[in-house]
Copies of this chain bind each other. A is one copy, B any other.
Amino acid sequence: MTTQEVPAVRERVHTWGDPLATAAAGRDVDGLSFLQRMAAGEVAPPPIATTLGFDVREVEHGRVVFAMEPAEFHFNPIGSVHGGVLATLLDSAMGCAVHSALPAGARYTSLDISVRFLRAVGTGSGPVRCEGVLVHLGGRTATAEARLTDGAGRLCATATTTCMIFRPGR
């Protein structure tokens, strides 16, 4: 194969479902059940998940794991996965870890994320795994942390978050 055969322009098609349907499936259901249904493929993932190519793998009370295969379309100008893509996985894992501990009717929103980048992720990193864990669950706020590791188990990024909780009838 000659270098001319390497296409100068790459192309990718991605699809997603109606986000309102996913949002509706989450109403009136406790967070753990909702996320378990998503992991089982019974609820469509959010659009951003197929846009970036990540999905939820494990769900339990206070702990959620996401996975993603690093690809060229994730790259920053320096030739590695953009930190914002890693931040998206970390934010998702932490938010879902909080969500997994909420009763039906409660909602949450991330107030902030703090992300530390420890090792570059590239196409040679193997599939990355991102585990979010609930740290503190209070009446009005919750905090969580997450770790992202590469295919060899090496730590690539860590994060923490504070979420605001809206409980029904409060």
> Are A13 and B15 touching (Cβ within 8 A)?
no
1/0 contact string of A111-145 vs chain B (CB within 8 Å): 11111111010000000000000011010110101
Asked if A152 CB lies within 8 Å of chain B CBs, one says no
> Are A75 and B88 touching (Cβ within 8 A)?
no
Asked if A20 CB lies within 8 Å of chain B CBs, one says yes
Q: Min CB distance, A142 to chain B, in Å?
A: 10
- Assuming the contacts A13-B13, A18-B6, A160-B160, asked whether A51 and B73 have C-beta atoms less than 8 A apart, the reply is yes
Asked if A87 CB lies within 8 Å of chain B CBs, one says yes
A79 to B17, CA, bound (A): 12
Asked if A9 CB lies within 8 Å of chain B CBs, one says yes
> Are A158 and B141 touching (Cβ within 8 A)?
no
> Are B20 and A10 touching (Cβ within 8 A)?
no
Asked if A110 CB lies within 8 Å of chain B CBs, one says yes
Complex partner residue of A46 from B14, B51, B82, B155, CB under 8 angstroms: B82
Complex contacts, A74 vs chain B, CB 8 Å: 47-48, 51
New A-B contacts (16) at CB < 8 Å, excluding given A6-B18, A112-B115: A9-B17, A12-B15, A16-B73, A19-B72, A19-B75, A19-B79, A20-B79, A23-B77, A84-B85, A84-B88, A87-B113, A88-B88, A111-B162, A112-B112, A112-B117, A164-B164
